[in-house]
Amino acid sequence: MKRAGVLQSVERAMRVLDHVAAATGPVTAKDLSKALGLTLPTTYHLLTTLVGGGYLVHLADERAYALGHRVDDLARGLHRQIAVPPEVRRVASVVHLQARAAAYYAALRDDEMIVAHVEECPDHPRINPLGVGFHQVPHATAFGKLMLAMLPGVLDEVRLPEVTAATVTDRAVLHRQLRQVTGTGLAIEVDEFQQGLSCMAAPVTDAAGRFVGAVAISMPTLRLRTDRWSVERAVRLGAVRATRAVALAGRVHPGTSMP
């Protein structure tokens, strides 16, 4: 069934882009047509349009298609639009040092938590692929669980795929987990996003008290278990400082909002 207000041609073009982006190499028109359930003429029309716009390139020798330069332009634009103030970046840097873990600031954007800043080092690298722009599988990340707890209506729209064997995919169990997050003001996931790695997140609010983001860390599960309380203190304190920084940014730049 078609969703109201959705242009079918645009939706199909986005599906083409998503498929090409997910592929390990160039994709042929026939493979696209088969994978997306589109007729070959329709597929060629979409490909021609996307090539013309620079979103795809046609590799004539391989008779296949790959991502074009405009996709990189979009990625740079996203990074620019979700960039956080220097004060918030400094908070993440302090959390990184205090927790001895990769630290993240995730921002709420249109019912999604998107990674907006990462502090890491060779000794404490981020979880791959938790880089700037990541927003998938909120039920399996600590900052995602925080959003689902703060905005309970969003859960009904979220798919719950199994990311690891430990991922909570039962909605009743997840609801119980989210009630605990609401009660404690802290979200933790253990081995749910990647085996052997865990995350912790605390909420950030704006000057009006609205939930706008999260300060989070990731580290090996064994270290989280041994250093739980010192890490929790660093994350909670970081969230308090980030909340102050967000409020300050709003006062310094009235009429603007944090990502």
Q: C-alpha distances in angstroms, 98 versus 93, 101, 199, 229, 249?
A: 9, 8, 15, 12, 24
The pLDDT, as a whole number, for residue 253 is: 40
103 touches 92 (CB < 8 A): yes
Give backbone dihedrals phi and psi of 219, rounded to 5 degrees, phi first: -165, 170
Structure tokens at 243: 């909340």
CA pair distance 182, 82, nearest whole angstrom: 26
28-86, pLDDT tens digit by residue? 999 999 999 999 999 999 999 999 999 999 999 999 999 999 888 887 777 677 778 89
The pLDDT, as a whole number, for residue 148 is: 97
Percent over 70 (pLDDT), the chain:
93
Strands (E) in the chain, as ranges, are 56-59, 64-67, 102-108, 113-119, 187-194, 197-205, 211-220
Q: What is the CATH number assigned to the segment(s) 82-252? A: 3.30.450.40
127-184, pLDDT tens digit by residue? 999 998 899 999 999 999 999 999 988 998 899 999 999 999 999 999 999 999 999 9
Q: Average pLDDT, stretch 187-215? A: 96
Q: C-alpha distances in angstroms, 1 versus 4, 6, 156?
A: 9, 11, 19
pLDDT bucket at 1, cuts 50 / 70 / 90: very low
> Mean pLDDT across the chain, nearest whole number?
90
Q: What is the fold of 8-69?
A: Arc Repressor Mutant, subunit A (1.10.10)
CB atoms within 10 A of CB 138: 22
Sorted by where each begins, the domain ranges of the chain are 8-69, 82-252
What predicted TM-score, i.e. pTM, was given to this entire model?
0.77
Q: Which residues contact 100 (CB under 8 A, 6 or more apart)?
A: 123, 124, 219, 227
CA pair distance 86, 107, nearest whole angstrom: 15
CA pair distance 163, 47, nearest whole angstrom: 32
The pLDDT, as a whole number, for residue 5 is: 58
Structure tokens at 181: 């997050």
| Pairing assessment for the beta strands 64-67 and 56-59 based on DSSP bridges | antiparallel
State which amino acid sits at residue 39. T
